[in-house]
Amino acid sequence: MRLIVGLGNPGNRYNFTRHNAGFLALDYYFKIYKKNWKDKPSLGAIMGRIDDDIFIKPQDFYNESGRVVANYVRFYRINLSDVLVICDNFDLEFGLVRYRASGSAGGNNGLKSIDVALGTSEYSRIRIGTGNDELRKQMGDVDFVLSKFTSQEKEQLPEVLVETLHRIDEWRQ
């Protein structure tokens, strides 16, 4: 059994924002594989399953996702080597998708929260590049991560989601 976590913020207000790239990636994954999410949150997350793998979208806010991830790891007795977290990264150019088997939070507060809750950073992660330096300078970091994608980025988003889907599939094999 493996745990795949998409990071984001709950609520319609945050749909299609940069910080919800993890939610968006998992929603796309479920759409392609014709799977449904459970309507009622369990252990603090919206959950779905594909085969023996558990997919979750924590319903705590992004920067506090660690508690929910730790709940799932403990409840299902999941090895940390079987945990994959998908998050945005504004330091990566928009559209780049990067996989690492482990590593630092690199300034990502959602990953920092998970590191603290699990007591380690030894879990896999996929970072989805949401960077747009010009827009980020105009808005500042907080407003930037909560901003919607530009029209040009929206056009490129399907390619990014397909790449993320492939990375998830590679990890699941």
Catalytic residues: 19
Residue 163: alpha-carbon gap to chain centroid: 14
Q: Where are the alpha helices (DSSP H) in the chain?
A: 21-32, 66-75, 109-118, 133-139, 141-145, 151-172
Contact between residue 88 and residue 127 where contact means Cβ atoms under 8 Å apart: yes
Task: Residue 87: name the closest of 73, 76, 100 by CA.
Answer: 100
Pairing of strands 124-131, 97-100: antiparallel
Q: How are strands ordered across the β-sheet holding 3-6?
A: 45-50, 53-58, 3-6, 83-93, 124-131, 97-100
If you write DSSP's letter for every residue of 94-133 in order, what string do you get?
A: TT-EEEESS---TT-HHHHHHHHHHT---SEEEEEEEE-H
Pairing of strands 3-6, 83-93: parallel
